[in-house]
Structure 1
Amino acid sequence: MSDLTFRLGSRSFDARSRLVMAIVNRTPDSFYDKGATWREDAAFERVRTVVAQGADIVDIGGIKAAPGVEIGPEEEKERVVDFVAAVRAEHPELLISVDTWRASVGRAVLEAGADILNDAWGGADPELVEVAAEFDAAVVCTHTGGVTPRTRPHRIEYDDVVASVVDSLVAQADRAVSVGVARDRVVIDPAHDFGKNSWHSLEVTRRLDELTALGWPLLVSLSNKDFVGEALDLPVGERLTGTLAATAISAWHGAHIYRVHEVVETRQVLDMVSVIAGDLPPARTARGLA
């Protein structure tokens, strides 16, 4: 077993950790929930629900990843900063992540009580990791193939997509450490579907062990992604089973953090993989023993 350890907020984790990061969208146009948690009261209820369901982290985002109406940094802050502060006040021990690529937003949410900056766009704002370093926060580095934030890949090609992911993530992680982010607070994410077609996302999933071998905690964001939908020819809303299959494969390959919409189902899959792997004992063992 790897001797990997990592820190998020005030908590420490090891290579056996399989953490659930629940998505909370402060947007009116999310691809999955169509604005179900846009209103603040609905977003708070979502946080309370996922905490009760066993989420280890909440990931709060103020802008959908797909193309759409331009949202400037001030409007993004209006959507997430006060909400982060209120979640922190109600849940003082909860790990809070914010999905943003902007350093100015990152600074504001860390001041409001966030623990993790989830940079979904691969260092598009190079100052974001410097802000994380200043606050001793964790940061998620992602591979996007160099695409512009909030654009879709078009006929993107790689000689070897996993090699590109490795090179990009190692370079980003090393730079984060070089500007002062603690090494054990750097997380890497291959970013399924970002800067990738479905063949690329499937290849990354198949070879995920090459990423866990790099020695950084690994996050995967698989939930209801297009590569799942295209694999099974299913629309958004009918991709849970496929998502959970990809989750089990990723867990077997050693990923540590799972960014998801469905907490209960994901937690059960991760716990089952942990039990099979010998990292967690069964909840009970009575069969054949009575």
Structure 2
Amino acid sequence: MRFLILTPVLNGARYLDAALQSVRAQYHQDWKLIVCDGGSSDGTLDIARRHASEDQRITVESASDAGMYDALRRQFDRFSGRAEVLSWLNSDDLYTPWALIEADAAFVRGALWVTGLPGLFDNHGRLRAVLPCGENRRSDILAGRRHDGFLGAIQQESVFFSTALYADLTPIERDIFATQTLAGDFHLWRCFARRAELVTLSSVLGGFRLHSKNRSRLNPEVYESEVAALGATQPPRLIARLWRYLHNRSAARAAFKAYETAAAELANEVSSIQR
């Protein structure tokens, strides 16, 4: 399957090269990447254009926009028909080399949107932690529980979704997505959950790079106000902590079961090769 990956960026020169390299390093080769520049002045365009000159699958578009999600909506609406699978990778985040090939296998099996175990990269691009979250319940997504203030957000850097699923969104759903500042993915996941189950793979597909300039860390109140306006479930703090504890235990058990299944499948594959 062909993947369309968007990288929205504004003055992201510090980490952009590594983000684009993580796409170019994919084992799965059938992809197109569009760097969506919002008017950078720090060398971002030089980096993006260098990659585009080296790899014809990469294109660069620079235009003013109303924010990251507005840029994403425009590009998905324009180019989604040219690929079967869509995603976006922010300029400071990273994919693992096997991300697309693992996602591709899941889509071949019939998935409409997939994610993996959430990864956390440090300032130097080293994978420092993996969250053992082996399930993402549709009921929790639909009820607005999957946000940082309750059960934890679904990691955007690890999510891939089918063109058909995006095409089914209504104009109003797309408009709401485009007008968010930090919570567009929270809204989008709820829209997808109304239509399909999120498939969670037992592998790390991508990760969030934690550094001193993360917008979500610098402006948590913006994210909190947006998810609240979008209908997030926000129980009293004590209830939220207990519910999150139980959710994490259940998700960790699911991750362990997924590991056992994957290990058994791999052992069978090795045995068949030896025979």
Q: Quick check: TM above 0.5?
A: no
Asked which structure has the greater RCO (Cα within 8 Å, sep 6+), the reply is: 2
Q: TM-score, normalised by structure 2?
A: 0.29
Q: Answer 1 or 2: which has greater helix percent.
A: 2
